[in-house]
Amino acid sequence: MPSDAQTTPAPGSAVPGRQASSGAFLHSVGIVTLMTLISRITGVAVQITISAVLGATRMGDAYQVAWRLPNMLRRFTAEGTMTSAFLPTLTEVEARDGKAGAIAFVSDFMGSLAWVLGVLCLLGILFMAPIIGLQMLGKLAPGQPLLEQLRAFGTVLAGKANFPPDVALAEGIARLMFPYLVLVSLTACMAAVLNLRGRFALTASVSTFFNLTFLAASWACLQLGPRAWHQPERAALLFACAVILGGGVQVLVLLPAFRRLGFRLGFHLRLKNTDVRLALKRMGPGLLAGGIHPLNVLVSTALASQLGYGAQVVLNNSNMLGELVLGLFAMSFATVSLPAMSRQAAEGDLPGVRTNLSMALRGTAFLAIPAAVGLAVLAYPIAAFLFQRGQFTPASVHWLAETLPFQALGILFIATVRISNQALNALKDYRSPAQSAVLQFSCNIVLSLLLMKPLGTRGMALANSLSALVGLFYLEWRLRHVLGQLPYRPVLTGWALFGLGSAAMGLLTVFGGRLVDVFTYHGFRGTGLRLFPLMAAASLGYFALVKMLRVQEAEELIAMIRRKLRSTR
């Protein structure tokens, strides 16, 4: 007898002749958001630990540069790109060849992907020195123009000079962490299969296991081994080892559920398989689209190496807090909407695709807009509460707080870009997201060069935000071409109402913050006792405001909470 996982459509997906209900869609999003919240909180704990030990210093910059490369490639090959290419292909194979064909395809694809990534890892390890050197140009010829820094880089590559200690240290750490790319990509493959079967909770929580493993391994090494708190070089190497250990744990967490569905890991290169080649081909144009945001961050931080020590850490922490909001809302809606839109597109149900796209865009904005406003308004107390300890000094906190509002500005744009990319991928249009990515990348370079000197790290964050807006305009133009019409009215109406409620919330938050003196640091406990009640009051105020405006999402959320409360009685 088939299991429920094999016969029941994923929550939020369409069944033939019927569109997914918004209640089921929001229920699935709620599960993913809750699990993602736990994951992001533990992720913040990881970043707090790293910042406290390494600080906004030479060593902190070296570690962040080393970590950024495998993390960026993870975004290319794992999160968005691979899933967006793999899921539609798997849906087609299963519809054509049944479950047995789907199992064989998954095994062949995962084996081929592992081989391709293994070669990529080997090349990365061999050529890590120039890759890291290019990211840290500002350390090769400090204070010199960009052209002089490029000349210094060429001199090093020609063997006439050695990399500075900062670059050499980052190179060694990056080599140690680089195999994480293979582990996390296999995890993403299994997660995509589980999402297709409606197993959203486990896949959304897998990053939590990585974070907890990292924290446990780091704490054990720092406490039980040689004291490394005051030896940053040793601590950075321990953190790199913890990354690899966490990647292995992620694979082991998903593997049992993956096997229970009848699927299995593959270890053979099957490039002759036409379906595998099709999925890999679809990944090609999506490489830029799926990872454009981290690629933009990479460009910004490479240029920011000219801004002095600590700029890399400040930008990374700023981006991490922005990703906290994006991960909670944009990725949750994108995760749930892609299987649904893929099924509807395969059935030719374009009205269903438009409905799911509208729900995803409105649902994301409903939560992302007030979160972005709150992040901008409470930038200083949030930065101080999270990071002011150890080697992360009060001056570094103020630096981070000045950068956060510019990071928050782009949250809605980046979130909308991600969901729009998912819709185009579901419709088998892989070129438009790639073209948008090239446009965003080009704009980010130009804007970064223009804004870096007058605004510093604030200019880097602002360049990311504005380039995402440019890419969004292009994607919406392409979506209108593919879908014929877009749900402009419900989406823009929702955004206007959410923006109105968020603006009022922001003003109330500033007034309340001054009343409780949250904008002065009172220590970890004192700041927390002021910050969290204020955030809770601001959230309740926002929901009350949008409820008064009769926003559909607020009413559905309240109805869902009431159903949950009744079911527990």
What are the C-alpha distances in Å from 251 to residues 191, 256, 406?
10, 9, 36
Query: Phi and psi at residue 15, in whole multiples of 5°?
Result: -100, 160
At 145-174, the pLDDT tens digits run: 556 666 666 666 665 556 667 677 788 888
- Provide the residue range defining the domain that includes 210: 21-562
More reliable by pLDDT, 11 or 197: 197
Contact 389, 524 (CB under 8 A): yes
What is the number of domains present in the chain?
1
Instruction: Give per-residue burial for 420-459: e unless 16+ CB within 10 Å, then b.
Output: bbbbbbbbebbebbbbbbebbbebbbebbeebbeebbbbb
Number of residues assigned to the chain:
569
Sole residue written with tokens 């308004």: 377
**CA atoms of 427 and 530, how far apart (whole Å):** 47
Give the pLDDT band of residue 11 (cuts 50, 70, 90): very low
Matching residue, tokens 């060429």? 154
How far apart CA 66 and CA 169 sit, in angstroms, is: 9
Say which residue, 148 or 8, is predicted with more confidence. Answer: 148
Residue at 428 is within a domain = yes
Three-class DSSP category at 428: coil
Amino acid at 162: N
Whether 260 has a pLDDT exceeding 80, the answer reads yes
Is pLDDT above 70 for 207?
yes
- Residue 184 has a pLDDT of 83
User: How many C-beta atoms surround the C-beta of residue 490 within 10 A?
Assistant: 15
For the chain, helix (H) and strand (E) counts, in that order, are: 23, 0
Read off the tokens for 181.
């790319």
Of 369-378, 452-461, 494-503, the one with minimum mean pLDDT is 452-461
- Confidence at residue 503, expressed as pLDDT on a 0 to 100 scale: 92
pLDDT at 504: 92
**What element of type H or E holds 378?**
none
Give the list of residues 6+ apart from residue 435 with CB closer than 8 angstroms, or none. Answer: 474, 478
Residue 567 lies in a domain: no
Distance from C-alpha of 460 to C-alpha of 312, rounded to nearest angstrom: 11
pLDDT, one tens digit per residue, over 525-547 is 898 899 999 999 998 888 888 88
- Asked if residue 14 has pLDDT above 90, the reply is no
Instruction: Answer yes or no: is pLDDT of 102 > 50.
Output: yes
Question: For 269-311, how does the pLDDT look when each residue is reduced to its tens digit (9 = 90+)?
Answer: 888 888 888 887 777 665 555 555 556 656 665 677 677 677 7
Within a domain: residue 11?
no
Report which listed range, 32-36, 98-102, 143-147, is most confident: 98-102
Q: Is the pLDDT of residue 56 over 50?
A: yes
- Answer whether residue 260 is part of any domain: yes
Q: What pLDDT, on the 0 to 100 scale, is given for residue 9?
A: 35
Query: Does a structural domain hold residue 5?
Result: no
The pLDDT assigned to 70 comes to: 74
Asked if the structure places residue 3 within a domain, the reply is: no
Whether residue 467 is contained in a domain is answered as: yes
Reported as a single tens digit per residue, the pLDDT across 301-327 is 567 767 767 777 788 788 878 877 776
Is pLDDT above 50 for 17?
A: no
Instruction: Report pLDDT for 161.
Output: 54
Report how far apart, in Å, the C-alpha atoms of 440 and of each of 229, 277, 296, 444, 449 are. Answer: 40, 28, 8, 6, 14
Average pLDDT, the chain: 76
User: What's the rounded Cα separation, in Å, for the pair 73 and 94?
Assistant: 29
Span 381-426, pLDDT tens digits: 999 998 887 778 888 889 999 999 998 988 888 888 888 887 887 7
What band does 512 get if pLDDT is binned at 50, 70 and 90? very high
Classify residue 13: in a domain, yes or no.
no
Q: What pLDDT does residue 139 have?
A: 58
Structure token pair of residue 392 = 């992360």
Which pLDDT belongs to residue 350?
Answer: 77
